[in-house]
Amino acid sequence: MIRRLLCSLASVAIVAPLLALSPAPPPGPILGYTQEHAAAERAAESTFDANMNAAEMKSWLRRLSARPHHLGSPYDKANAAWLVAQFQSWGWDAKLETFQVLFSTPKERKLELLSPTRFVASLQEKPLKEDRTSNQIGEQLPTYNAYSIGGDVTAPLVYVNYGIPADYEILAQHGIDVKGKIVIARYGGSWRGIKPKVAAEHGALGCIIYSDPRDDGYWGGNAYPNGTYRNATSAQRGSVADIPTYSGDPSTGGEAPIPGAKRLAIKDIPTLTKIPVLPISYTDALPFLRSLGGPVAPAAWRGALPITYHLGAGPARVHLKLDVAFGYVTAYDIIAKLAGAERPDEWIVRGNHHDGWVNGAADPLSGAVAVMEEAKAIAALTKTGWKPKRTLVYCLWDGEEPGLLGSSSWAEAHEAELRAHAAVYVNSDGNGRGFLFAQGSHSLERTVDEVAREVVDPERGVSIERRQLAAQKLRLDGFASLQADDEGGVDVAAPIEPGSAFHLEALGSGSDYTPFVQHVGVAAINLGFGGESGNGSYHSIFDSFDEYTRFKDPTFAYGLTLAKTAGRIVLRFADADVLPYAFAPSADTIARYAREVAKLVDDEGSATLKRNALIDDGSFTFAADPRETFVAPTKRSPVPTIDFSALNDAVAALQTSAQAYDAALGIALSTSTAPSTASATDRALLAAEHTLTTPTGLPRRPWYRHQLYAPGFYTGYGVKTMPYIREAIEQRNWDEARTGIVTVAAALLAYRTQIDIARVTLAGK
């Protein structure tokens, strides 16, 4: 499901010290290790690397992607059985865990333009002779959006750009209302499920989502099969369940779908869409867009089709019919364990999903075969006498695509165990050539940084922190466009802080880490390579072995690099004397979030004053072209004073404790032996991330309990940090912002206390 490969480089906010990029860094200390153990760890890692080979990964990818393998399909089940057998053959304690989960598939899809001309959308991706699995039509899911409700609607059409809330403000200024209309939105700008959600909030009757060639088609590069960009008939499948409310089985309302679980009736499921939704190709979209009249769309709304983009409404009149079958299918999770030799009750969890929308070679199998390769190499490592100190839990999830069903179900079912045992969850998803992208709990930042400095980019021979160089280079005049990413733009205004350390980005949603970090409260990271391989086959019949091996990672060099990177993180967590968290960088980042939310209030305050003044003096109207409809915006209430002192005090206390812990850990491991109380330290550390969650979670979405990271309610995949506070401010809900401030402050104080406890335990010798 994840779309990281297309994500912008804009979020790179740092320049790694250049020394970090030299190909053979001097072995230094490893966080959580005594010096002696660090050397042993590096030796084990070398063996681990040597145990892996790319050819095997390629053969596995061929096998797993040979047929469509979506949730509920025969080949999905066959893959699961084959995968568990593989893990068992390597010596892992592997088994299938199954869940009965609600899935939706279309029975009938119809989309037609009734006027001013007549056109019936084909709704069919056209197989290519250059892609050997693209003609498996009988097993392919049609192009559709899972968890859309059915419907049969006829109405004038309105173009709503990406269909996010700000787009509707622009429409309102043009005097355009979508009430009683069908909207057509383009993919991009937000997670797809936001589009029908916001459209329905504004009274639309139906929603069409199309792939504009500006966003992932020919505008960016050669279309498949000549390149990796989406071609004329390719459409993007995907879930539109309201995952920002809860992920997992929609029918259980956020509970584990275990036998006996209460199931909601279809009509009562809050995360299904309120209106029918259908994804189409740009070939199908063009006649609809061409038939729109009304105002010309704003510059930022225009795609790459050879037309003048208009907003409507009408004269295009559209008929959309969708008949949907809802039913229960089995999700097959593969859970493989390797017991820890010393601290078996501490779990290092690693996962990637195995289900695809169709053949799913890149998404998710390219990441899944890295998980397999790691597991096999670790098993081989045990033959040398090495044993993990802690227990490894390797997982391959089913049903990620429709809404993280396999991982959420398992995390919900095992919540108590996870809170008791899980030290970290390491996720991956689709992978490709290019740069390392990493997001995660900020306490894991130092370990990820240490690992990334030691893993070598297979094509450039420097550290995989190579991406920081790109970020720096992109900011020099004249070079901004050279490395423009796949989405076609690089935000050169993103802040850069020379000399600062590697930063983990915050986690939003879009892959299987969500139930772990945001629901259960397990520190998590998500890793993958991309940015040089394109991703225009995303969720289409062309995400195939042929496409992957031709364009995405032909030698599997980056597959191997992902296995080295994620595997190292797993091994370092598994073998450390003390679990390798560092809190000072995390506290500093949290302090930045606190500054950001306070600034958000200040900015909204001054923007409101300015805007209201301009409304009062008629500026908006005077500036508008009198020959075009223009509805001046209305005044907003002034922003009240918001007291952030509780938050700021908690942050300051946290920073003090975090520095104290990090210093104490350094001292504790500076001798040849680790503290005798290290196990107690682990117990304290493992609980630290839990303290950042609250039992009642976020307003209106209690399933999301983490007070630092959540997918935005109106962005979907995009993260909102300190979401309780930030989203309240964005929605101008000042009372909720105040409640959010004390809630987050309390969580940070609990986090601080847990860090203090961990520090105290380090005293034993």
Binding track, positions 205-224, relative to a copy of itself; x by CB under 8 A: --------x----xxxxxx-
Do 352 and 397 contact (CB within 8 A), yes or no? yes
| Burial label, 91 (beta-carbon count in 10 A; 0-12, 13-18, 19+) | middle
Give the residue with the Cβ less far from a copy of itself, 479 or 734: 479
User: Rounded to the nearest whole angstrom, what is the least distance from the CB of residue 556 to a copy of itself in the complex?
Assistant: 15
Residue 393 is which amino acid?
V
Do 647 and 726 contact (CB within 8 A), yes or no? no
User: Rounded to the nearest whole angstrom, what is the least distance from the CB of residue 406 to a copy of itself in the complex?
Assistant: 34
Peptide bond into 225 cis (omega under 30): yes
Indicate whether 21 belongs to the interface with a copy of itself (CB under 8 A): yes
Binding track, positions 240-279, relative to a copy of itself; x by CB under 8 A: ----------------------------------------
Alpha helices in 339-489 (DSSP H): 367-382, 400-403, 405-413, 415-421, 445-454, 466-474
User: Rounded to the nearest whole angstrom, what is the least distance from the CB of residue 668 to a copy of itself in the complex?
Assistant: 36
Indicate whether 619 belongs to the interface with a copy of itself (CB under 8 A): yes
Max Cα–Cα distance, the chain, nearest Å: 82
Do 241 and 250 contact (CB within 8 A), yes or no? yes
Half-sphere CA count of 3, side-chain side, radius 13 A: 23
Indicate whether 481 belongs to the interface with a copy of itself (CB under 8 A): yes
Give the residue with the Cβ less far from a copy of itself, 413 or 470: 470
User: Rounded to the nearest whole angstrom, what is the least distance from the CB of residue 301 to a copy of itself in the complex?
Assistant: 7
Cα angle, residue 401 at apex, residues 395 and 403 outer, rounded to 5°: 90
Buried b (16+ CB within 10 A) or exposed e, 720-742: bbbbbbbbbbbeeebebbbebbe
Query: Which of 607, 609, 663, 667 lies at the binding interface for a copy of itself (CB under 8 A)?
Result: 607
Indicate whether 198 belongs to the interface with a copy of itself (CB under 8 A): no
Indicate whether 299 belongs to the interface with a copy of itself (CB under 8 A): yes
Indicate whether 663 belongs to the interface with a copy of itself (CB under 8 A): no
Give the residue with the Cβ less far from a copy of itself, 400 or 485: 485
Where does this chain touch a copy of itself (CB under 8 A) — which range of 31-39, 66-74, 516-524, 617-625?
617-625
Residue 472 neighbours by CB distance under 10 Å: 17
Indicate whether 13 belongs to the interface with a copy of itself (CB under 8 A): no
Indicate whether 627 belongs to the interface with a copy of itself (CB under 8 A): yes
Peptide bond into 650 cis (omega under 30): no
Query: Which of 624, 680, 742, 746 lies at the binding interface for a copy of itself (CB under 8 A)?
Result: 624
Binders of a copy of itself: how many residues, by CB under 8 A?
67
Where does this chain touch a copy of itself (CB under 8 A) — which range of 68-76, 110-118, 606-614, 744-752?
606-614
User: Rounded to the nearest whole angstrom, what is the least distance from the CB of residue 612 to a copy of itself in the complex?
Assistant: 11
Binding track, positions 524-563, relative to a copy of itself; x by CB under 8 A: --------x-------------------------------
Q: Restricting to residues 437-476, which ones interact with a copy of itself according to CB under 8 A?
A: 457, 459-460, 462, 466, 469-470, 472-474, 476
d(CA 527, CA 426): 8
Indicate whether 598 belongs to the interface with a copy of itself (CB under 8 A): no
- Pick the closest to residue 236 from 186, 168, 288 (CA basis): 186
> What are φ and ψ of residue 630, in 5° steps?
-140, 120
| CA distances in angstroms from 396 to 195, 334, 348, 430, listed in the order given | 30, 5, 14, 13
Do 374 and 570 contact (CB within 8 A), yes or no? yes
> What are φ and ψ of residue 617, in 5° steps?
-90, 5
Which residues does residue 563 pair with via DSSP β-bridges, in sequence order?
A: none
β-strands 93-115, 312-338 pairing: antiparallel
User: Rounded to the nearest whole angstrom, what is the least distance from the CB of residue 127 to a copy of itself in the complex?
Assistant: 22
User: Rounded to the nearest whole angstrom, what is the least distance from the CB of residue 358 to a copy of itself in the complex?
Assistant: 24
Give the residue with the Cβ less far from a copy of itself, 228 or 409: 228
Indicate whether 8 belongs to the interface with a copy of itself (CB under 8 A): no
Q: Which positions lie near a copy of itself, rule CB under 8 A?
A: 18, 21, 166, 169-170, 173, 213, 218-223, 227, 229, 296, 298-302, 304-308, 433-434, 457, 459-460, 462, 466, 469-470, 472-474, 476-484, 488-489, 532, 607, 610-611, 614, 617-627, 630, 633
